[in-house]
Amino acid sequence: MRFEELPTPCYVVDEQKLEDNLKILNGVMKRTGCKIVLAQKAFSMFALYPLIGKYLSGTTASGLYEARLGHEEMGKENHIFSAAYREDEIDEIVSICDHVIFNSFSQLEKFKGRVIAGGKKAGLRINPECSTQTGHAIYDPCSPGSRFGVTQEQFRPDLLDGVTGLHFHTLCQQNADDLETTLNAVEEKFGEWLPQMEWINFGGGHHITREGYDIPLLEKCIKRMQDKYGLEVYLEPGEAVALNAGYLVTTVLDTVKNGMDIAILDTSASCHMPDVLEMPYRPPLIGAGEPGEKPYTYRLGGQTCLAGDTIGDYSFDKPLKEGVRLVFGDMAIYTMVKNTTFNGMPLPAIAIQYKNGDCAIVREFGYHDFKMRLG
């Protein structure tokens, strides 16, 4: 099947572009000796886990189901962090995870014994209270009142027995200079306990595969923790693994006018690309320009009843007509992991584009996938 033959809407992950990202990440691992694991919260297309597993050290999860997926489909190192664990899930989590990271000393006290008895490593998430981002408070784990990580004020060194590592995650789509700033805060507030640890986890949010990312500075930060404290260093990027490696193919269903030209697509920002509304951001569209840049400008929107279900304003060389196919870029991350069937919208198919250009559909969805979630 060729790209132009795919049904719409359809997520397509480009095997070559994914592997290019993986090679960059693997290069960091080889040069520094650190370990990089896939944060499944951003990208969980397990059909490609065999490829990812060739380059990365494993997976990390935010809950039991992600942990099971990483265990079953990649089978390498399996880490987990959750804001709180359930009593009825913890035993299974310990059985399939290598690192179990706790968000509080109360959770640590409650479950640490089971982790140690299972021969697994117990970790603690810390909050260095060092915000390095602005404008996206919803994605800032160091924002005031954050529920993530133990602050210096709440830290209990008397309860660290059995804890082998510390974890922090403070970044979101950021460069290595923000990591360096964060490391300074980590050392200032928690440095006296680092020598008694075996490992440290830098979390995610590192845009390592983005053009212009300062990889030498990242490696300097990694070496700093290795050389100064003798720590094994982990990173758990999500976006960086599949950044710019996917597309969402869609079809124009109709065009209308209301002060401007509007095109209705068979996809939805709300259902199929929710970060467009949550971040918010305007996803790249192949062949299109900024509003007014090209002769014909349209606002692109979905079929749902949500008034704000709009993807953005784009300009085109020719007028849009029913049946025209549009291809959005950077649609591998935070799409299929977050999509919904709101309004009964069908879920997009999922496909792979192989290195030779051929495509294969790995999953299609129908009415049953909508109905099965309802009672």
Give the span between the Cα atoms of 224 and 231, in whole angstroms.
Answer: 9
Instruction: State the average pLDDT for the chain.
Output: 97
3-state secondary structure of 142: coil
Quick one: average pLDDT of 257-262?
98
- Dihedral angle at the C-alpha atoms of 92, 98, 101, 102, nearest 10 degrees? 40
pLDDT tens for each residue of 40-80? 999 999 999 999 999 999 999 999 999 999 999 999 999 99
State the pLDDT confidence band at 135, using cuts at 50, 70 and 90: confident
pLDDT tops 80 at residue 204: yes
Least Cα distance to 235 among 227, 225, 243, 245 occurs for 225
Range with the poorest average pLDDT among 59-63, 136-140, 320-324: 136-140
Share of the chain above pLDDT 70, in %: 100
pLDDT tops 90 at residue 328: yes
Half-sphere exposure of 297 (CA within 13 A, CB side): 11
3-state secondary structure of 23: helix
| 275 assigned binding-site residue | yes
| Residue 163 near residue 123, CB atoms below 8 Å | yes
Least Cα distance to 333 among 7, 44, 56, 140 occurs for 44
The full set of domains in the chain, from first to last, is: 3-11+246-331+339-371 (2.40.37.10), 33-242 (3.20.20.10)
DSSP characters for 181-209? HHHHHHHHHHGGGGGG-SEEE--S-B-TT
Least Cα distance to 104 among 87, 126, 120 occurs for 126
Quick one: average pLDDT of 218-236?
98
Give the span between the Cα atoms of 135 and 137, in whole angstroms.
Answer: 6
Distance between first and last Cα of the chain: 37
pLDDT tops 90 at residue 108: yes
Q: In what helix (H) or strand (E) does residue 121 lie, and over which residues does it extend? A: strand 121-125
What pTM was computed for the model?
Answer: 0.96
| 239 assigned binding-site residue | yes
Give the span between the Cα atoms of 337 and 159, in whole angstroms.
Answer: 36
pLDDT tops 80 at residue 136: no
pLDDT tops 90 at residue 179: yes
Quick one: average pLDDT of 318-325?
98
CA 253 to centroid of chain Cα atoms: 31
| Residue 114 near residue 97, CB atoms below 8 Å | no
Give the span between the Cα atoms of 88 and 91, in whole angstroms.
Answer: 7
Specify burial of residue 357 (Cβ count, 10 A radius: 0-12, 13-18, 19+). exposed
Quick one: average pLDDT of 214-227?
98
